[in-house]
Every structure is written in C-alpha cells, then in structure tokens.
Amino acid sequence: MKKNLVISLAAAFLLPMTVSAASIETTGAVMFDGDVYLAQQEVEKDYVRTAEFIKGDESGDSWTRVIAIRHHPRLMSPMTAAEKFGKKLQEENPGLTYEVTPCNGGKEALIQFTLPTGNSGSVFNAYRFMKQEGYAGLVSYQFSSRVPAFSVAKVGLSSPDRQKWVNELISANFDYRIGNPAQRTMASNR
C-alpha cells in the first residue's frame, strides 16, 4: 500500500492564473501550474473521500508538491469548514498561524498555513472549500509544497510563488470525479 502523501491533521475537516487548472480525466491526472499530477490513491477515512496526486516525475517518498481533492459530505458551509479547520490546526500545533479568506464572491473559503516538519523544513498548504455540483456537502482542493529548511527563512506566506499557487487554486476546476471506479483503478495501478 502506498504511503499516505498528505499530512492528515483533522480528518473531519481535511479535507492551486497563468495556466488553467484542467483535468486530464482519461489518465487519472490533473494539471496545475503547468505540471501534470498523477493520481496516486483514493481513500476514505471518517466519511471523507480523498484523491491524491503528485507531479509525474516524482515518487510517493520524494514528492515536492501534492494536489488533493476531498469530498466532505457532512460539511455544509465553506467558511465555517475553513475556520474550524484552522482552529483544529492551532490546537494541534500551538503557535501556528493561518489565514482564512473568502474567495469567488464569498461562496467559497480559502485557508493557507505552513507546517514545520522538523529539521527538514516545512510544508506550505492551501485549501479551498466549496460546494460543487454532483456532491452533497463540500469539496476541497488542497495544494501542498515542501519548503527545504535552508529556504524557510526566505519564504513567507506572501512570496510570489505562494501567491501564484493560491491564485491558481482559487481558479482551479478539476474535473476528477471522486468515487469514479475507472479513476480509482488507474490510480491503484501506478
């Protein structure tokens, strides 16, 4: 079984404008920031179904960036979901700061934060919570990027790369359907 690629902190809440974030549904992949991310696994835990993707030239042990799409059938408000997720993160990581903002006309919510990973650096995360046709509850898109320890001091939440990723996440429209058996088969064959 493949190693879980995404940091799972609060499973009940866990759920990236230059290039259009389009789905490549026939291959079990999504496009983000000009890169193809291949489906790695689709799992369900605590009523949340998650599909994870890493860049095509990376492996599960050495990823630098991850995309995750989650279906949260029990969550109804994007802003409430993001705010509760942030509070849960702070409970589990005292001193952690996060930013929650409305996006796409206030119908959706974005949370961004950076988690330290010890001596190896940190992981920048951005989540977008939204309602999506065909799903009860909410769907979230997550973008994560590892930041090596030597560059952590130079990279803040407002760095140009991070802002570009956040802008792309806000405009993303991944057409990958969580729960589609054909896509799960493709992901499990990688």
Q: How many CB atoms lie within 10 A of CB 60?
A: 15
Give the H or E element holding residue 101: strand 98-103
CATH number of the structural domain spanning residue 171: 3.40.1000
pLDDT at 27: 52
Instruction: Spell out where the chain has E strands.
Output: 23-24, 29-32, 35-45, 48-55, 65-72, 98-103, 108-116, 121-130, 138-148
Q: Which of 83-87, 115-119, 185-189 has the highest mean pLDDT?
A: 83-87
Cα separation of 83 and 62, whole Å?
A: 31
Kindly state whether residue 47 falls inside one of the protein's structural domains: yes
Kindly state whether residue 3 falls inside one of the protein's structural domains: no
Domain holding 133, by residue range, is 23-188
Cα separation of 180 and 174, whole Å?
A: 14
Kindly state whether residue 9 falls inside one of the protein's structural domains: no
Kindly state whether residue 177 falls inside one of the protein's structural domains: yes
Kindly state whether residue 18 falls inside one of the protein's structural domains: no
What predicted TM-score, i.e. pTM, was given to this entire model?
0.78
- The SS3 of residue 55 is strand
Summarize the confidence of residues 26-48 as an average pLDDT: 86
Tokens, residue 33: 């920031």
pLDDT per residue as tens digits for the range 110-165: 999 998 887 778 899 999 999 998 899 999 999 999 877 655 444 454 477 888 99
**Residue 102, amino acid:** P
Tokens, residue 147: 């930041």
**Residue 15, amino acid:** L
Cα separation of 11 and 2, whole Å?
A: 18
Kindly state whether residue 158 falls inside one of the protein's structural domains: yes
Kindly state whether residue 15 falls inside one of the protein's structural domains: no
DSSP secondary-structure letter at 2? P
Kindly state whether residue 1 falls inside one of the protein's structural domains: no
Domain count, the chain: 1
